[in-house]
Chains A and B, each alone.
Chain A
Protein backbone atom coordinates (compact mmCIF):
# COMPACT_ATOMS: atom_id res chain seq x y z
CA UNK A 1 0.00 0.00 0.00
CA UNK A 2 1.22 3.50 -0.77
CA UNK A 3 0.29 4.77 2.66
CA UNK A 4 -1.94 7.73 3.44
CA UNK A 5 -1.93 10.12 0.53
CA UNK A 6 -2.62 13.80 0.94
CA UNK A 7 -2.92 16.46 -1.70
CA UNK A 8 -1.79 19.05 -2.37
CA UNK A 9 1.52 18.99 -0.55
CA UNK A 10 1.66 22.76 -0.48
CA UNK A 11 -1.11 25.31 -0.94
CA UNK A 12 -0.84 29.06 -1.03
CA UNK A 13 -4.07 31.00 -1.21
CA UNK A 14 -5.38 34.46 -0.63
CA UNK A 15 -7.48 35.39 2.35
CA UNK A 16 -11.14 34.84 1.68
CA UNK A 17 -10.64 32.04 -0.81
CA UNK A 18 -11.97 28.52 -0.38
CA UNK A 19 -9.38 25.83 0.27
CA UNK A 20 -9.92 22.08 -0.04
CA UNK A 21 -7.46 19.57 1.33
CA UNK A 22 -7.71 15.93 0.27
CA UNK A 23 -6.87 12.62 1.85
CA UNK A 24 -6.86 9.01 0.72
CA UNK A 25 -6.54 6.64 3.70
CA UNK A 26 -4.92 3.24 3.64
CA UNK A 27 -7.23 0.65 2.14
CA UNK A 28 -9.06 -1.30 4.83
CA UNK A 29 -8.64 1.34 7.51
CA UNK A 30 -11.92 2.44 9.03
CA UNK A 31 -10.70 5.36 11.14
CA UNK A 32 -9.65 8.65 9.58
CA UNK A 33 -8.28 11.61 11.48
CA UNK A 34 -7.54 15.22 10.55
CA UNK A 35 -4.87 16.98 12.63
CA UNK A 36 -3.52 20.52 12.42
CA UNK A 37 0.03 21.48 13.37
CA UNK A 38 0.99 25.03 14.28
CA UNK A 39 3.89 26.51 16.20
CA UNK A 40 1.58 27.93 18.84
CA UNK A 41 -0.75 24.98 19.43
CA UNK A 42 1.29 22.01 18.30
CA UNK A 43 -0.59 19.03 16.87
CA UNK A 44 -4.29 19.08 17.57
CA UNK A 45 -7.09 16.81 16.43
CA UNK A 46 -9.72 18.57 14.35
CA UNK A 47 -12.13 15.75 13.54
CA UNK A 48 -12.23 12.02 13.09
CA UNK A 49 -14.41 9.56 11.20
CA UNK A 50 -15.26 5.94 11.79
CA UNK A 51 -16.68 4.02 8.85
CA UNK A 52 -17.13 7.32 7.00
CA UNK A 53 -19.25 8.82 9.79
CA UNK A 54 -17.97 11.89 11.67
CA UNK A 55 -17.65 10.90 15.31
CA UNK A 56 -16.05 13.87 17.02
CA UNK A 57 -15.68 17.29 15.45
CA UNK A 58 -15.12 19.17 18.69
CA UNK A 59 -11.68 20.21 17.53
CA UNK A 60 -12.93 22.01 14.45
CA UNK A 61 -12.14 25.64 15.21
CA UNK A 62 -15.00 27.42 13.51
CA UNK A 63 -17.89 27.03 11.13
CA UNK A 64 -15.51 28.01 8.36
CA UNK A 65 -14.08 24.50 8.64
CA UNK A 66 -15.92 21.47 7.35
CA UNK A 67 -14.90 17.89 6.66
CA UNK A 68 -16.52 15.12 4.68
CA UNK A 69 -15.88 11.49 3.97
CA UNK A 70 -18.13 10.44 1.09
CA UNK A 71 -16.62 6.97 0.90
CA UNK A 72 -14.03 4.76 2.56
CA UNK A 73 -11.23 5.92 0.30
CA UNK A 74 -11.57 9.68 0.31
CA UNK A 75 -11.95 12.59 2.70
CA UNK A 76 -11.81 16.36 2.35
CA UNK A 77 -11.20 19.21 4.74
CA UNK A 78 -12.55 22.52 3.50
CA UNK A 79 -11.95 26.01 4.77
CA UNK A 80 -14.27 28.71 3.51
CA UNK A 81 -13.41 31.55 3.72
CA UNK A 82 -9.76 31.09 4.58
CA UNK A 83 -7.90 33.46 6.92
CA UNK A 84 -4.18 34.01 7.57
CA UNK A 85 -4.48 32.34 10.99
CA UNK A 86 -5.46 29.11 9.23
CA UNK A 87 -1.89 28.82 7.97
CA UNK A 88 -0.60 25.50 9.29
CA UNK A 89 0.32 21.97 8.31
CA UNK A 90 -2.72 19.74 8.07
CA UNK A 91 -2.23 16.01 8.54
CA UNK A 92 -4.51 13.16 7.70
CA UNK A 93 -4.05 9.82 9.45
CA UNK A 94 -5.81 6.48 9.28
CA UNK A 95 -5.97 3.36 11.40
CA UNK A 96 -7.82 0.10 11.62
CA UNK A 97 -10.15 -0.67 14.47
CA UNK A 98 -9.22 -3.58 16.67
CA UNK A 99 -9.78 -4.84 20.17
CA UNK A 100 -6.33 -3.64 21.07
CA UNK A 101 -3.85 -1.27 19.58
CA UNK A 102 -3.80 -0.24 15.97
CA UNK A 103 -1.11 2.07 14.68
CA UNK A 104 -2.15 5.35 13.12
CA UNK A 105 -0.39 6.05 9.83
CA UNK A 106 0.09 9.67 8.83
CA UNK A 107 0.19 11.29 5.45
CA UNK A 108 2.94 13.74 4.61
CA UNK A 109 0.74 16.69 5.39
CA UNK A 110 -0.42 19.73 3.46
CA UNK A 111 1.32 22.99 4.25
CA UNK A 112 -1.29 25.72 3.89
CA UNK A 113 -0.30 29.35 3.66
CA UNK A 114 -3.02 31.98 3.59
CA UNK A 115 -1.78 35.43 2.58
Chain B
Protein backbone atom coordinates (compact mmCIF):
# COMPACT_ATOMS: atom_id res chain seq x y z
CA UNK B 1 0.00 0.00 0.00
CA UNK B 2 1.08 3.53 -0.64
CA UNK B 3 1.37 6.19 2.05
CA UNK B 4 1.89 9.93 1.79
CA UNK B 5 3.24 12.01 4.66
CA UNK B 6 3.17 15.77 5.08
CA UNK B 7 5.12 16.67 8.18
CA UNK B 8 4.14 20.35 8.37
CA UNK B 9 0.57 20.77 9.66
CA UNK B 10 0.76 24.56 9.36
CA UNK B 11 2.98 27.19 7.76
CA UNK B 12 2.83 30.93 7.59
CA UNK B 13 4.82 33.41 5.47
CA UNK B 14 4.66 37.02 4.41
CA UNK B 15 3.28 38.01 1.04
CA UNK B 16 5.89 37.90 -1.76
CA UNK B 17 8.08 35.45 0.13
CA UNK B 18 8.95 31.99 -1.11
CA UNK B 19 7.66 28.99 0.78
CA UNK B 20 8.36 25.27 0.46
CA UNK B 21 5.94 22.55 1.53
CA UNK B 22 7.32 19.08 2.21
CA UNK B 23 5.96 15.70 1.23
CA UNK B 24 7.36 12.20 1.43
CA UNK B 25 5.77 9.01 0.22
CA UNK B 26 6.26 5.30 0.35
CA UNK B 27 5.59 2.90 -2.51
CA UNK B 28 7.00 -0.15 -4.21
CA UNK B 29 5.72 1.06 -7.56
CA UNK B 30 8.15 2.35 -10.16
CA UNK B 31 5.70 4.23 -12.35
CA UNK B 32 3.35 6.68 -10.72
CA UNK B 33 2.17 10.27 -10.55
CA UNK B 34 2.50 12.78 -7.76
CA UNK B 35 0.30 15.82 -7.29
CA UNK B 36 -0.20 18.89 -5.21
CA UNK B 37 -3.77 19.98 -4.66
CA UNK B 38 -4.94 23.26 -3.20
CA UNK B 39 -8.07 23.51 -1.09
CA UNK B 40 -9.10 27.11 -0.36
CA UNK B 41 -11.84 27.95 2.15
CA UNK B 42 -14.41 27.32 -0.58
CA UNK B 43 -13.54 23.59 -0.18
CA UNK B 44 -12.93 23.13 -3.88
CA UNK B 45 -10.04 20.76 -4.62
CA UNK B 46 -7.83 22.39 -7.24
CA UNK B 47 -4.97 20.63 -8.99
CA UNK B 48 -1.86 22.81 -8.68
CA UNK B 49 0.83 20.71 -10.29
CA UNK B 50 1.57 17.17 -11.44
CA UNK B 51 4.79 15.19 -11.69
CA UNK B 52 5.31 11.97 -13.60
CA UNK B 53 7.75 9.69 -11.84
CA UNK B 54 9.46 8.59 -15.03
CA UNK B 55 10.38 12.18 -15.86
CA UNK B 56 13.51 13.48 -14.22
CA UNK B 57 12.72 17.11 -14.94
CA UNK B 58 10.87 18.86 -12.15
CA UNK B 59 7.43 20.16 -13.08
CA UNK B 60 6.76 23.91 -13.09
CA UNK B 61 3.53 25.88 -13.35
CA UNK B 62 4.09 29.61 -13.20
CA UNK B 63 4.96 30.43 -9.56
CA UNK B 64 4.67 26.79 -8.50
CA UNK B 65 7.46 24.27 -8.89
CA UNK B 66 8.37 20.95 -7.38
CA UNK B 67 11.54 19.28 -6.21
CA UNK B 68 11.09 15.62 -7.03
CA UNK B 69 13.67 13.27 -5.54
CA UNK B 70 12.63 9.78 -6.61
CA UNK B 71 15.30 7.85 -4.72
CA UNK B 72 14.50 9.71 -1.53
CA UNK B 73 10.74 9.50 -2.23
CA UNK B 74 10.44 13.18 -1.64
CA UNK B 75 8.18 15.64 -3.44
CA UNK B 76 8.22 19.23 -2.19
CA UNK B 77 6.26 22.19 -3.53
CA UNK B 78 7.81 25.63 -3.83
CA UNK B 79 5.62 28.68 -4.15
CA UNK B 80 7.49 31.77 -5.31
CA UNK B 81 6.31 35.34 -4.84
CA UNK B 82 3.49 34.13 -2.61
CA UNK B 83 0.15 35.90 -2.86
CA UNK B 84 -2.75 36.29 -0.44
CA UNK B 85 -4.80 34.03 -2.70
CA UNK B 86 -2.37 31.20 -2.05
CA UNK B 87 -3.78 30.87 1.46
CA UNK B 88 -5.26 27.38 1.56
CA UNK B 89 -4.79 23.76 2.60
CA UNK B 90 -2.30 21.98 0.37
CA UNK B 91 -2.42 18.25 -0.15
CA UNK B 92 0.24 16.03 -1.61
CA UNK B 93 -1.16 12.99 -3.43
CA UNK B 94 0.01 9.80 -5.12
CA UNK B 95 -1.51 7.76 -7.92
CA UNK B 96 -0.23 4.58 -9.56
CA UNK B 97 0.32 4.90 -13.29
CA UNK B 98 -1.23 1.55 -14.07
CA UNK B 99 -4.61 0.42 -12.96
CA UNK B 100 -7.18 2.36 -11.02
CA UNK B 101 -6.83 6.13 -10.99
CA UNK B 102 -7.39 6.50 -7.27
CA UNK B 103 -5.55 9.11 -5.27
CA UNK B 104 -3.81 8.61 -1.93
CA UNK B 105 -3.54 11.88 -0.02
CA UNK B 106 -1.29 13.22 2.68
CA UNK B 107 -2.75 14.89 5.77
CA UNK B 108 -2.35 18.36 4.35
CA UNK B 109 -0.49 21.56 5.23
CA UNK B 110 -2.41 24.69 6.13
CA UNK B 111 -0.62 27.61 4.49
CA UNK B 112 -1.33 31.20 5.46
CA UNK B 113 0.02 34.12 3.49
CA UNK B 114 0.13 37.27 5.61
CA UNK B 115 -0.13 40.78 4.14
Stretch at the interface among A14-22, A68-76, A77-85, A102-110: A102-110
* Residue A45 interfacial (CB < 8 Å): yes
Is B100's CB under 8 angstroms from A108's CB?
no
A43-B91, A101-B52 are contacts. A56–B102 as well, Cβ < 8 Å?
Answer: yes
Interface residues on A, range: 20 to 34
Measured CB to CB, the closest approach of chain A to B68, in angstroms, equals: 15
Q: Which residues of A contact B105 (CB under 8 A)?
A: 42-44
Stretch at the interface among B12-20, B22-30, B41-49, B72-80: B41-49
Measured in the bound complex, the distance between the Cα atoms of B100 and A65 in whole Å is 22
Measured in the bound complex, the distance between the Cα atoms of B101 and A55 in whole Å is 11
Measured CB to CB, the closest approach of chain A to B53, in angstroms, equals: 11
Is B102's CB under 8 angstroms from A108's CB?
no
* Residue A89 interfacial (CB < 8 Å): yes
> Which among B52, B103, B108 has the highest number of chain A CB atoms within 10 Å?
B103
Is B33's CB under 8 angstroms from A42's CB?
no
Q: Which residues of A contact B50 (CB under 8 A)?
A: 101, 103
Residue pairs across A and B with Cβ atoms less than 8 A apart, 25 shown, are: A33-B102, A42-B91, A42-B105, A42-B107, A42-B108, A43-B103, A43-B105, A43-B108, A44-B105, A45-B103, A48-B102, A56-B100, A93-B45, A97-B101, A101-B33, A101-B50, A101-B52, A101-B97, A103-B50, A104-B101, A104-B103, A106-B45, A108-B42, A109-B43, A111-B43
